[in-house]
Copies of this chain bind each other. A is one copy, B any other.
Amino acid sequence: MKQSEWELIRALQRRARPVPGVRVGIGDDAAVLAGTARHDWVVTTDLLVENVHFLRQAQPARALGYRALARSLSDIAAMAAVPRYALVALAVPPELATSWAREFFAGLLGLARRHKVALAGGDLSAAERIIADVQVLGIVEKGQAVARHGARPGEQIFVSGALGASRLGLEVIRAGLSSVWPPLKRAVRAHLYPQPRLRLARALRRRFPLTAMIDVSDGLSTDLDHLCQASGVGAVIYAAQIPAVRLPLPIARRLSVSGLELALHGGEDYELLFTLPASAARRLKALRRRAATHLPARLAGVRLHHIGHVVRGRKIMLVDAQGRARQLFPGGWDHFARTKRAR
């Protein structure tokens, strides 16, 4: 994996020794802080920088505002917490001025309303490039936040929804392809307006003993690696079971990429990746109509895919449709290593 970002995070973890009140600290999707007698606080911050995380012309202001909040809400979902308050730091180039910022906030506030999140404050300034940093504070029942580090060998690995659509949408926008064709339209929408899996995460937490969870923001290969590293385990996943976006052949040729590649390394899907003990995994897989045994399980309106299992060691192996296994390396988004390819 690309080491630079992780090395720095680890150096900080060493320096920031355990502090009373910090239940889960640096290195997870969000920090978990001791709150009231019955609840913990969950806090997350996510930075969006123009030309690094997005291109201005590929992203209407409204979509950007939506996505800036959606990213943080997804982090809250990954802890199985409930979001409450948001703070927004926004820097806007002078040539864009306030009308752009109004659109940005319209997108952000629309999503906030849907999830009953209150905009509690923020900070506005100017900059040469658009910068948005959104913090979300949420709550979770005391000791019940789901961290990344609890996966154990023998447990089963699941992922929600479909993977790769967001990246496909981005490629469609960048290639200037028409998106009137429904599959491409859906992909563009998945990129611009991803749905944080808040309801699903809470439903999962209520019904299943989740041992580890993370949101797929950097791509399955990278985020599974994060989960495995935090848990000190390896994994075996099966290509045929990964819910990869379906890619029309002409588009696959034009972009010279496969649906599986987009699913493994695309990122920004904001789906949930989680692990369960075997018995709970069987219960989860039974969550479907009896007649529909060929379909994946569903919860809170979202499909749940059993993609593999946790093993000893540190390697992640990908088994292809022919049963051949090869080691999977994180090919997702490492911010320090891939700056040049602005998304």
Residues of A within 8 A of B (CB): 4-5, 7-9, 11-12, 15-16, 19, 21-22, 25-28, 30-31, 33, 35-37, 41, 43-47, 49, 51-53, 84-85, 87-92, 94, 97-98, 101-102, 105, 109, 118-129, 131, 133, 135, 137, 335-336, 339
A295 to nearest B CB, angstroms?
A: 37
Given A43-B85, A45-B133, A126-B336 in contact, is the A98-B4 Cβ separation under 8 Å?
Answer: yes
CB-based contact A31/B126 at 8 Å: no
Given A16-B119, A31-B120 in contact, is the A49-B8 Cβ separation under 8 Å?
Answer: no
Q: Give the residues in chain B near A87, CB-CB below 8 Å.
A: 31, 43-45, 135
Q: Give the residues in chain B near A90, CB-CB below 8 Å.
A: 47
Q: Give the residues in chain B near A4, CB-CB below 8 Å.
A: 97-98
- Please give me the 3 A-B residue pairs with the lowest Cβ-Cβ distance, nearest first: A31-B121, A19-B118, A31-B120
CB-based contact A52/B126 at 8 Å: yes
Contact of A124 among B9, B123, B133 (CB under 8 A): B9
A137 to B135, CA, bound (A): 11
A216 to nearest B CB, angstroms?
A: 16
A101 to B335, CA, bound (A): 14
Q: Give the residues in chain B near A121, CB-CB below 8 Å.
A: 25-28, 30-31, 43-45
Q: Give the residues in chain B near A46, CB-CB below 8 Å.
A: 89, 123
Q: Give the residues in chain B near A28, CB-CB below 8 Å.
A: 121
A9 to B105, CA, bound (A): 11
A123 to B333, CA, bound (A): 14
- Minimum CB distance partner of A334 in chain B: B126
Q: Give the residues in chain B near A135, CB-CB below 8 Å.
A: 43, 45, 87, 135
Given A30-B121, A47-B89, 14 extra CB contacts under 8 A: A9-B124, A12-B119, A25-B121, A33-B85, A43-B87, A45-B87, A46-B89, A47-B91, A49-B127, A94-B339, A125-B336, A127-B131, A131-B131, A133-B133
Assembly of this chain: how many copies?
2
Contact of A52 among B5, B51, B52, B127 (CB under 8 A): B127
A308 to nearest B CB, angstroms?
A: 28
A51 to nearest B CB, angstroms?
A: 6
- Please, could you name 17 A-B residue pairs with CB atoms under 8 Å apart, sorted by A? A11-B98, A11-B102, A12-B105, A12-B119, A19-B118, A30-B121, A31-B121, A43-B137, A45-B87, A45-B122, A45-B133, A47-B91, A91-B131, A92-B336, A124-B335, A126-B336, A131-B131
A120 to B35, CA, bound (A): 14
- Minimum CB distance partner of A37 in chain B: B36
CB-based contact A52/B125 at 8 Å: yes
CB-based contact A109/B33 at 8 Å: no
CB-based contact A102/B8 at 8 Å: yes
- Minimum CB distance partner of A339 in chain B: B126
CB-based contact B91/A15 at 8 Å: no
Given A12-B105, A105-B12 in contact, is the A45-B123 Cβ separation under 8 Å?
Answer: yes
A25 to nearest B CB, angstroms?
A: 6
CB-based contact B43/A105 at 8 Å: no
A110 to nearest B CB, angstroms?
A: 11
Q: Give the residues in chain B near A22, CB-CB below 8 Å.
A: 85, 118, 120
